[in-house]
Amino acid sequence: MSNPFARWVAVQDGDPKPPQSTGGRFVAAVRKPAATGPNPRLRIVVVDDNLGFRESLIELLRAGGHEVAGEASDGLRAIDVVAEARPDVVLMDIRMPAMDGIEATRRLKAANPGLGVVALTAQEDDSIVREMLVAGASGYVLKDSDGEDILNAVAQAAKGGAVISPAVGPAVIEQLTEALERERQRAHQLEEAHAALVERTARRHELVSRLGHELRTPVTVILGIARTLAEGITEPEHQRDLLQRLAGRAADLSRLVERFEMATDEGSEDFVDVTRLAREVAGDRRRVRVGEGVGVAAVWANGVLVRRILEELIDNACRFSPPSTFVDVEVTRSRDQRAVEVRVIDRGQGIRPEDRERIFEPLEQGEPLDARTHQGAGVGLSMGRAAARAMDGDLVLERSDQSGSTFLWTLPVSAR
């Protein structure tokens, strides 16, 4: 329709007003719409780059009993006007210079979530409608709509409702619903990714904390022995014993540093063949039997940590199994195919039920390495669990009895 307000009769106080020419558009003066019930007086900002159309809208709104708190000819200016006027509703054109109505609406809603925005335009393009509604518009009314329709859209927007012109087809509503659902799913995925990142960061911090704790233990012993020797008050035969202990603790410290160096290096991640690494760690120890690992593909993981965990589990199993027995390493995929499961099975005497969680706890600070209080309680299992969890997996004691123990390490299969 070429005249957007042709339906509004140019009458006020019984005297018709002549129509106005607005740059090629013919806009009639408006009359106060018929009363349809009490409506609250609203503060409204009008945004449109066509001066004549903007003036007609202002007259319509005033005739409808509302206060026009400000006006703007583009989206950029509208942001400043709205910030100063603090309206209840904004009537927003879409195609404007400087900043269009879509971007202006997006910014206004970000700063004022409760603000009602009604899109008012001659455009019926589906993509424009969808973008405006996704940006936060409360409704969408075509410029050739009846004045009552525009006033109703304003009233509904102020109440938190929405009015969409019947000219906007159901296809747009369906597209909008799908777009909003995609946004909801994307937001949910981002929340899950953020939570996983926070948890992984916490696990890496735990690994670093345990590294520091366990490093302090042998260092404390070394310092104590060194100070005793420095005082020069010990007998020669006792000095030899202290020197031997000092050398032993230094060797323990060196192995600890070697095992867990680069443990938290993010850049060391790569595709890792866990079965192949297990065979390399087993080396020429014939008592260690590594299964074929059928169906286990390489996983994206920190290769240094994978090797260190395997070294600790295999060394631990060999240390606590009789020399004449075998240690088995089984590498398989979990039933749901989401993780690689590594089982290290020893033939030791088993671990008492009351000690099965304690073996994974970090020891008290200053406890010497040769004073372990329960079987298997060492630097390795505590650190191994921390390293496994740093890679979003876990290390647990799956089974233990008089015939031996099975340690289960799970490593998630994640895409690069």
Tens-digit pLDDT profile for residues 1-10: 344 444 443 3
Mean pLDDT, residues 368-381 taken together? 44
167 has a pLDDT exceeding 50: yes
Which domains are seen in the chain, by residue range?
Answer: 11-168 (3.40.50.2300), 187-412 (3.30.565.10)
373 has a pLDDT exceeding 90: no
Instruction: Give the three-state DSSP class for 90.
Output: strand
Mean pLDDT, residues 33-43 taken together? 63
Quick one: 221 exposed, middle or buried, by C-beta within 10 A (0-12, 13-18, 19+)?
Answer: buried
Mean pLDDT: which of 19-23, 125-129, 138-142, 396-400 is highest? 396-400
Lowest mean pLDDT among 180-184, 252-256, 387-391: 252-256
The pTM for the full model equals 0.42
Q: Name the phi and psi angles at 398, rounded to 5.
A: -75, -40
Distance CA 400, CA 346 (A): 9
- Our measurement of the distance from residue 210's CA atom to the centroid of its chain's CA atoms, rounded to an integer in Å, reads 26
Q: Would you state the pLDDT for residue 413? A: 85
Tens-digit pLDDT profile for residues 124-162: 666 777 787 778 888 778 777 777 888 888 888 888 766
Q: Which of 352, 346, 265, 261 is nearest to 301 (CA)?
A: 265
**Please, how many CA atoms are within 13 Å of residue 55, restricted to the half-sphere of its CB?**
12
Tens-digit pLDDT profile for residues 298-312: 888 888 888 889 998
Tens-digit pLDDT profile for residues 39-52: 678 889 999 988 88
**Contact between residue 111 and residue 131 where contact means Cβ atoms under 8 Å apart:** no
More confident site: 412 or 181: 412
Which residue, chain included where needed, has tokens 């192949």?
276
Tens-digit pLDDT profile for residues 168-222: 556 566 666 776 677 778 777 778 777 777 776 776 676 667 666 667 767 777 8
Position 37: which residue type?
G
Position 59: which residue type?
E
Q: Would you state the pLDDT for residue 123? A: 61
**Contact between residue 45 and residue 61 where contact means Cβ atoms under 8 Å apart:** no
Query: Residue 313 CB: number of other CB atoms within 10 A?
Result: 25
Q: Would you state the pLDDT for residue 368? A: 38
Tens-digit pLDDT profile for residues 214-249: 677 677 778 888 878 787 777 777 877 888 888 877
Whole-number mean pLDDT of the chain?
A: 76
Q: Which of 126, 136, 157, 131 is nearest to 45 (CA)?
A: 157
Instruction: Give the three-state DSSP class for 71.
Output: strand
332 has a pLDDT exceeding 90: yes
